[in-house]
Amino acid sequence: MAGNIATLTSANFDETVRSADTPVLVDFWAEWCGPCKAIAPVLNELATEQAGKLQIGKLNVDDHGDIAMRFNVMSIPTLIVFKNGEAVKRLVGAKGKGQLLQELAEFLPASR
Amino acid sequence: MTQHTKVLIIGSGPAGLTAAIYTARASLQPLVIEGEPSSTSDQPGGQLMLTTEVENFPGFPEGIMGPELMMRCREQAARFGAQFLTEKVNKIDFSARPFQAWVRDQHFTADSVIVSTGAQSLMLGLPEEQRLIGHGLSTCATCDGFFFRNQEIIVVGGGDSALEEAQFLTKFASKVSIIVRRDVLRASKIMQERAHANPKISFVWNSQVTKIIGDSSVTGVELRDTVTGATSTIAVTGVFVAIGHRPNTDLFKDVLDMEDSGYLITKSGSTYTNIPGVFACGDVQDHTYRQAITAAGSGCMAAIDCERWLEAQH
């Protein structure tokens, strides 16, 4: 599944996040949220460029509100980084690719 | 490596995109550096990306969703050859021609520039805002309203934006109180009528929010009566700020003439700034009308001013 974005659900969330051998970036989003749609292309690029180093999953808060509630998501988009199944960083609001990479730098192996 | 363009358009709201359509159709091959995704209103597509129904843009008797309207404008500009870069200009140099702009390491030169960077939501200016934004404090009702189902929340503001947000939020919240600084609203009559008719909406007049209370998320606000000075506290879990906008002109400080409020100054009846070859359109230079349609109109003016100016250089 390298380079692809996983569709997370209430059913597969825990399994996916806990079994990952790389950090997992979870995107909490919804259809009616403009800024959520705006970052979708950025996340697609990240998924391809960071394949094997970072897994990206999307969770639709409309369909799976229980997971959103569990993590106290109050604003979307919210991006949460999971490492070894634990939530380690939270980013609220849409961001450009450059800023996102800066925020994720600590979780990615150093490249060039 | 430097990329050169005849027309550089900075910003992609209704003004920038209309300027893009017109300059593209004039075979000027404009480059639109449209900004970066953001949850404030400073982003590609501009302020309409954060609204739902737009009912007052002419041509749409059924109304149209803000993001959809902007997407269509963008497609229209692309159809005629406008190029887009979804990044933010972080430095400019208009001291000589060709004009220069930078997106981090990428360098651009342009024969002419159309500034259409728009405006972004004003915050209340309270110290706790940075901490609580996204944790009950919001400037985007369409992004965050969903999370306040059956909760009591407030909207701060007295214009159309505030009333529109409040109306939208009643889909989720059990109670929406609109905190208004004076005893009158700035909003259009039709929005006022709708708000008054909505049983979930109530008004708190002559009041200012002086503090937002809460540690990890909002639990209440402190209000001050602007007439009597009396303070009170109300328990709410959501605070939506809709008190107005400030123009995105930090980039042009000391370069383009602007008012104290930051709005760019253009020569009366045109889009000319103090620098020949640099034009400004849309909310970035308009603190009077600030409508999508007036922005689009001035975007067209900027394109025509720009085209004629370029012609005159030869």
**Domain B129-241 classified CATH 3.30.360.10?**
no
Contacts of B135 in chain A (CB under 8 A): 74-75, 92
What share of chain B in percent tops pLDDT 90? 88
pTM of the predicted protein model? 0.87
The arithmetic mean of pLDDT across residues B241-264, rounded, is 96
> How distant is the Cα of B45 from the closest Cα of chain A, in angstroms?
10
Task: Assign B282 to helix, strand or coil.
Answer: helix
| Pairing verdict, β B137-138 and B238-241 | parallel
Per-residue pLDDT reduced to its tens digit, B268-297: 999 999 999 999 999 999 999 999 999 999
Assess whether pLDDT exceeds 80 at residue B173.
yes
Where are chain B's structural domains? 2-121+245-312, 129-241
pLDDT score of B41: 61
Tokens 């706790």 -> residue:
B128
Report the alpha-carbon distance of residue B26 to residue B35 in Å, rounded.
24
Report the alpha-carbon distance of residue B158 to residue B95 in Å, rounded.
41
Which chain A residue lies closest to B143 (C-alpha atoms)?
A: A33
The arithmetic mean of pLDDT across residues A8-20, rounded, is 94
Q: Which residues of A touch B (CB under 8 A)?
A: 30, 32-39, 41-42, 61-62, 68, 72-78, 92-99
Topology of A5-104 in CATH? Glutaredoxin (3.40.30)
> What is the CATH code for B2-121+245-312?
3.50.50.60
ipTM: 0.76
Cβ–Cβ below 8 Å for B143 and A39: no
Dihedral of the alpha carbons of B96, B97, B98, B103, in degrees to the nearest 10 = 20
Is A33 labeled as catalytic in the residue annotation? yes
To test the contact with chain B by mutation, choose from A28, A29, A31, A33 the residue with the greatest count of B C-beta atoms within 10 A, namely: A33
Tokens of B121: 């939501």
> How distant is the Cα of B42 from the closest Cα of chain A, in angstroms?
11
**Cα B200–B202–B208 angle (5° rounding)?**
135
Asked if B275 is an interface residue toward chain A (Cβ–Cβ < 8 A), one would say no
